[in-house]
Amino acid sequence: MAPRSFWKGYLKLSLVTCPVAMTPATTEGEKVRFHILNRNTGNRVVSQYVDAVSGAPIGEDDAAKGYPRGEDDYVLLEDEELDALSLESTRTIDIETFAPAASVDWIWFDKPHYLVPDDPIGVEAFSVIRDAMKATGTVGLSRLVMYRRERAVMVEPRDRGLVLWTLRFADEVRDPKDYLDKIGAETPNAKALNLISKLIEERKSHWDPAMTRDPVQAQLLDIISGKKKEHTPARGKKQASAAPSNVVNIMDALRKSIDAEKRGAKRR
């Protein structure tokens, strides 16, 4: 069953408007999560703010947000002041700019959300906006208040719907030139390049979401299942992997890798 939408509003392009619903495209609901317990009583432990100097606990009404301006010196900001910063873009995705889809680098993508029509009457307008972006190879750029902050968002067509990405803030993205430009422009050995290409071809496969499975999650579930049955599984010592030896001749290593891939393909 599809999860309920967590946001409803309008998609707007000039005079064309349609009601839409948005749902996060990813979830952590299946992750194994733990509570902190008092080992002696089995009761859950609750967290509480305490004064860093006096050690006295403070109530929720006494907690305030502060911006450091010096050592042990802060500017206090009230919730009312922060809420006043929210603009009118809380319920309308007003697309005012379009950009070539390839021009928005992946590093700016933050969180994906599925965007679908929320009223049968608005399906036609929704479809026109979606198909026009497909035909022109563009994405729509807008701003929207999400997760308590106004964010730049990008809307792209995907199948019969749209995907809305929140985009990272400018101060969150580091300039790749500071890192990638330091790599030397050495021309690789032609024979080595050819062997690597063959190795890639041998290992080429279609993408499968199963490739992203979390083995630790599965092991945790096994442990929890054993605990539920009042049986504590024996802890086997994990054998340490031998450290890889230094490869003196990359050509020999590549040839051996390709031969191994071919032998494996024949067995399959």
Going by C-beta distance under 8 Å and a sequence separation of 6 or more, which residues neighbour residue 16? Answer: 125, 128, 129
CA gap 145, 89 in Å, rounded = 6
On the CB side of 83, CA atoms within 13 Å amount to 3
Q: What is the pTM of this model?
A: 0.69
Residues 6+ apart with CB under 8 A from 10: 17, 18, 19, 20, 91, 92, 93
Angle at the Cα of 158 from the Cα atoms of 139 and 25, rounded to 5 degrees: 100
What residues contact 75, with CB distance under 8 A and at least 6 apart? 66, 67, 69
Predicted confidence pLDDT, tens digits, the chain (268 residues): 556 668 999 999 988 899 999 999 988 777 778 888 888 998 999 888 898 888 888 888 888 888 888 888 888 888 777 666 655 557 899 998 999 999 999 999 999 999 999 999 899 999 999 999 999 999 999 999 887 788 999 999 999 999 999 999 999 999 998 998 888 888 888 988 899 899 889 888 898 888 878 777 777 777 777 777 765 545 555 554 444 544 446 677 667 777 776 777 666 6
**Counting runs of H as helices and runs of E as strands, what totals does the chain give?**
6, 10
Q: Which residues contact 97 (CB under 8 A, 6 or more apart)?
A: 140, 141, 142
Q: Which fold has domain 13-27+86-167?
A: Ku70; Chain: A; Domain 2 (2.40.290)
Q: In a 3-state reduction of DSSP, which class is residue 113?
A: strand
List Cβ neighbours of 258 (8 Å cut-off, separation of 6 or more): 195, 198, 199, 202
Q: Where are the domains of the chain?
A: 13-27+86-167
